[in-house]
Structure 1
Amino acid sequence: MSKISTLQVENANAYIVNWLKTYAENAKVNGFVIGISGGVDSAVTSTLCAQTGLATLCVEMPIHQAPSQVSRGREHIEQLKKRFSNVTNVEADLTAVFDTFKTIVPQVDNLDIVNLSLANTRARIRMTTLYYFAGIHGLLVAGTGNKVEDFGVGFYTKYGDGGVDLSPIADLMKSDVYALGSYLKIPNSILQASPTDGLFGDDRTDEDQLGASYDELEWAMLEDDKGNVSDDFSGREKEVFDIYKKLNTINQHKMTEIPVCCIPKDFK
């Protein structure tokens, strides 16, 4: 199930950069703000934004962050600033904010539920921070989600990293993001690192949480689009397809419009 991208990276790069610049100019904003995590998605997104020539603010928002994630993020930012004069950066250490939040909310006995809720809280605190910087500098919040995460398995936090103004790489599979990252010469330390959301303060990877690799989930997403069903597969393929379908089903609330209770006209 290994996936090799067929993306025409040079054409895709130029297309996304033009799309970003046109959108920002029509919105009459100064540029973009991106949260930098030390992962490939935020590295690619920030490099795409930088190429527009518009103001590109890279924000580090550590919350009890693993040193390896911090160092990868800083390596990328320093490289990007050397390549593009329109790139600036700022660090907003949110550890104290997060720790204070934990002291003022009630605790429950189910640690799994608590830890998941706190992981999502990290993402939502970061979203609020990005919008603060966007507001004071006249910027758009650029999302870093890819197609598998955003429209396949819903692997993001609702109103956290899912709370953005525009999504430049959300039509790219993870393999496409890596191909584009290689073309854009983002640091090898990022290209070679195991993907992680960094929301739990430990070394768990995305694959640990999802139960399948991005290559596998990308395969399952494509097979699902073809109309295949679980019984069409066996062994690991069936296992992965079932994982994909389960996640795709339970996370539909992230991928569809917020349901609105429409009142009958006779009641108005």
Structure 2
Amino acid sequence: MQTEKVIDHIVNWLKDYALNAKVNGFVVGISGGIDSAVTSTLCAKTGLDVLCIEMPIHQAPSHVSRAQEHIAQLKTRFANVKDTRTDLTPVFEEFKTEVSLEGKQAAVDMALANTRARLRMTTLYYHAGLLGLLVAGTGNKVEDFGVGFYTKYGDGGVDLSPIADLLKSEVYTIGKALNVPDSIMNAAPSDGLFGDARSDEDQIGASYPELEWAMQMKDEGKVAEDFSGRQRTVFEIFMRYNTSNKHKMIPIPICEIPKNIK
């Protein structure tokens, strides 16, 4: 990958899109992870307004500290970057008092995790609407088009996706070139939706390098029977997520009415 050329391409794409849309810049949710750090830095390099928003909901302290470190660094480097913090913990807790929490605990936990993401999406669009900004997505290619590891209408609810054609490993390469803080570069990737420090690998059962390999194997037409041992396990994990989350990766189905009955 020609890193500097890729960076310039994304920055120019972001700037052109915003100017053509006649908006002032971008709003980015900052989680303390590599994807939001790279996305916000790319947005900052456009010279347009960038609002970085922290939106903690019972957040792990390590996530909070990394997010704050990144925002502080970004503001010293770019005069067009501003930040704000919206503590969504009280909103989340109030929501829980108004809905049923009965059912299988795993299902309840997942529904609440997705609710966190959707509260954050709502917050991003609130600020975007006030300030005439676009919501910049932070999803990478493996998450968005491989395993569908994001929340529909949560972190998947964005206006544009600047890093969605980059594998996770490529995001790290760009992060290094953009001088993303070491604390973020070295942290285990995590979606932060469960109020603890569990990593993406803990949830998925495979690392991003493994998932990138499986994604490539699928593209080459391989099937599970072509592998054994850990490789087969990883490929089956990838395919299970890819299949079950396909609804996130395709357009919303529309029931088309035949012309002869409409």
* TM-score between both structures, scaled by the size of structure 2: 0.99
In structure 2, what residue type is equivalent to 1:146? N
CA distance in 2, matches of 1:107, 1:177: 37
Alignment correspondent of 2:75: 81
Alignment correspondent of 2:188: 194
4+ residue runs over 2 A deviation:
none
Alignment correspondent of 1:10: 4
Alignment correspondent of 1:49: 43
Gap runs ≥5 in structure 2: none
Alignment correspondent of 1:147: 141
Alignment correspondent of 1:211: 205
Matched, 1:165 2:159: yes
Matched position secondary structure for 1:32: strand
Matched position secondary structure for 2:82: strand
CA distance in 1, matches of 2:137, 2:52: 12
- The Cα of 1:110 is off from its aligned counterpart by 1.0
- The Cα of 1:109 is off from its aligned counterpart by 3.2
CA distance in 1, matches of 2:234, 2:242: 12
- The Cα of 1:8 is off from its aligned counterpart by 1.4
Q: Return 32-41 or 199-208, whichever deviates more.
A: 199-208
Using the aligned pairs only, state the percent identity. 68
Alignment correspondent of 2:64: 70
Gap runs ≥5 in structure 1: 1-6
Alignment correspondent of 1:221: 215
Q: Return 226-235 or 127-136, whichever deviates more.
A: 226-235
CA distance in 1, matches of 2:197, 2:55: 18
Matched position secondary structure for 1:267: coil
Matched position secondary structure for 1:203: coil
Alignment correspondent of 1:3: none
- The Cα of 1:231 is off from its aligned counterpart by 1.1
- The Cα of 1:106 is off from its aligned counterpart by 1.1
* TM-score between both structures, scaled by the size of structure 1: 0.97
The root-mean-square deviation of aligned C-alpha atoms, in Å, is 0.5
Matched position secondary structure for 2:92: helix
In structure 2, what residue type is equivalent to 1:261? C
In structure 2, what residue type is equivalent to 1:175? S
Alignment partner of 1:39 out of 33, 40, 43:
33
> CA-to-partner distance for each residue in 1:27-64, whole Å, 9 max, x for gaps?
00000000000000000000000000000000000000
Matched position secondary structure for 1:143: coil
